[in-house]
Amino acid sequence: MRPPFKPNSIAAILCGLACAGQLSAQAKGHEFSGEAAMGYTSKAVAFGPRPSGTPENAKLRAWLRQQLATRGAEVTTDKFTAQTPVGPIQMENIIAKFPGKSGKAIAITGHFDTKRLDKFVGANDGGSSTGFLLELAATVQGHPRVDDLYLVFFDGEEAVKDWTDTDSIYGSKHLAAAWTADGTNRRLKALINVDMIGDRNFSIVWETNSAASLRKFVWDTADALGYSKFFPRDGGNIADDHIPFVNAGVRALDLIDFQSQGSFWHTPQDTMDKLSANSFKILGTVVLKVIEGLESQK
C-alpha cells in the first residue's frame, strides 16, 4: 500500500528522483578505458608481492570483492586448500556474475596472484589481468545481458616452486572441477583467459592449445576492428589457466602476450613502467566485441 501523499514531502521526492537518476547514470557501464585499467593495475601492484597464501594476497582479495560489489555483480568465492610442494596453502578464486536470461554463459578469466620471487610485484604478470577484469566489470555494469557473464579472478596460477603439471594453475583446476560438477561448464559458450596483456610491445600469441573455432573468431574480430598487427596468426602451445577448461570440454582460449616480455618476465623489473594504456584499450575493445558476437549466437 502506498503511504498517504504529503505536500511537504515534494522537495524530498524531487531530490530523491534526481539523486536516483545520478546513481543510475553512475551505475551504467562505459567504453573500455585503458587508462582506468592501468589505474586498477597500479592499485593491485601497490599491495606488493602477492603469492597465494600471503597476507598481501588476502588483502588484495578483499579489495577485489569490494570493487566488484560496487559494480552490481553477484560476487561469490571458491575457497580451497591446495596441496603444494611446500605444504597446504589456502587459496580463493573470486567470481563476479552479471546475470543474463538465456541459460547460457560466457566467462572471461585471469589470475591475480604473483610468483614467489623476491621483490616481484608482477605489474604485467598478475597485475594486468587483474586490472583488465576490473575495468571490464566497470564497463559492463548496468547493461542487460543475454547470457550470464562471469568474470573470474584466479588464485594460484603461478607455480609455488617450478612449473609442472601438479605445481601450477591451482585455482583454474579447482574451479573447472567445481563447474563440471555443478553443470556450469555445460552452459558455457566460451571461456577466454587473459594473461600478461598490458605490456607496451603488445602482441597476442596464436595459442594452439586453445579451441580453434574460438581462436579464429577472436582473431577475425580483431582483424575487423583494425587490430591485425596485434593479433598475428603465429605462435605455439602455452600452458595457462584455460587448460583445465579445455580438458573439461569447454570451448576455451588463452589470450597471452608471452613473446614480448623481454628480460622482465619473472623479475623485479616487471613494474608499471613496462605497461601501456593502449594495450589494455585494444584488448578491451576486442573482448567486448567478441562477447557481443558470442551473445548473438544460439
Q: Taking the domains of the chain in order of start, what are their residue ranges?
A: 50-295
Angle at 241 between CA 235 and CA 243, to 5 degrees: 70
Model confidence at 107: pLDDT above 60: yes
**pLDDT band at residue 263 under the 50/70/90 scheme:** confident
Model confidence at 24: pLDDT above 70: no
Q: Report which of residues 17 and 95 the model is more confident about.
A: 95
Model confidence at 154: pLDDT above 80: yes
E-assigned strand segments in 121-271: 148-154, 188-195, 252-256
Model confidence at 6: pLDDT above 50: no
pLDDT of residue 123: 98
pLDDT of residue 258: 85
Q: Find all residues with CB under 8 Å of 110, minimum gap 6, and list them.
A: 129, 130, 132, 133, 152, 153, 154, 193, 194, 195, 241
Q: Find all residues with CB under 8 Å of 92, minimum gap 6, and list them.
A: 61, 77, 78, 79, 80, 155
d(CA 274, CA 156): 23
**pLDDT band at residue 235 under the 50/70/90 scheme:** confident
Q: Measure the N-to-C terminal CA separation of the chain; round to a whole number of Å.
A: 42
pLDDT of residue 182: 98
Cα dihedral across residues 184, 247, 266, 255: positive or negative: negative
Class of domain 50-295: alpha beta
